[in-house]
Structure 1
């Protein structure tokens, strides 16, 4: 099995979603199916069809989350000792050499990525360009508008 890298926070978010699906969504779907069945003929019952479709989605998501969590390799950035190198879980302060803009990104798993929160996927082009770099080095990133250069200002393990 392929290990799926997750930060401690990302694993907790997936566990919370799984718990909600099992304890709230699944019972709601079962109740909706029972309600729709009580309306009689199932062959032309749109409520029943919608409830069964929702049940399939919920059960599929539960299976997906259980699979990811069982194959998760949970990494705590605070416990990393990467000698100042950019690795999974690290938070990286960057400067765009063209515009002078400064940004900070944490490199996380695919399920945790949220650019608005400054979390980028380990499989994204910018994260792949940053992996292994140290403060002072420049990473070249192939962006839709061409090659962008970012200087690594600081690497933090928080």
Structure 2
């Protein structure tokens, strides 16, 4: 009996310890299967995050470029009255016709708040003249100065350059 009791007790102890040692066994194998599947297709789950970070950077650069392209700067407004010049009206027209899906207009911030408000009012008047509805396009104030110069200045430089070019002439013919 002693051997039977000892045997029974050892089997009970083994079963008891086996049930305790099972803790986390299923979780371990679940994690092992997950890690195997992830390692098998390794770059794919992580490449998407890298691509998204690069695309976000390019999207930000594109938005900044469009904002600068659609900004009406100082030379599109009359210095004294603050009204749009003909070049300003043509710029608004090009924004409305050429830039599909990005038709927001940005007005460069003036030196004073009144100057900025006068510019926004002039742009709304130009939109009302072109579209009939000045609220059809969003207008934002931009503190950034786009690169470029007034068309009159560029035209003057071009005309002076063209007038300073000497007339073409052929070299004298020399007989030998």
TM-score normalized by the length of structure 1:
0.25
Bigger Rg over Cα: 2
Instruction: Please identify which structure carries the higher helix content.
Output: 2
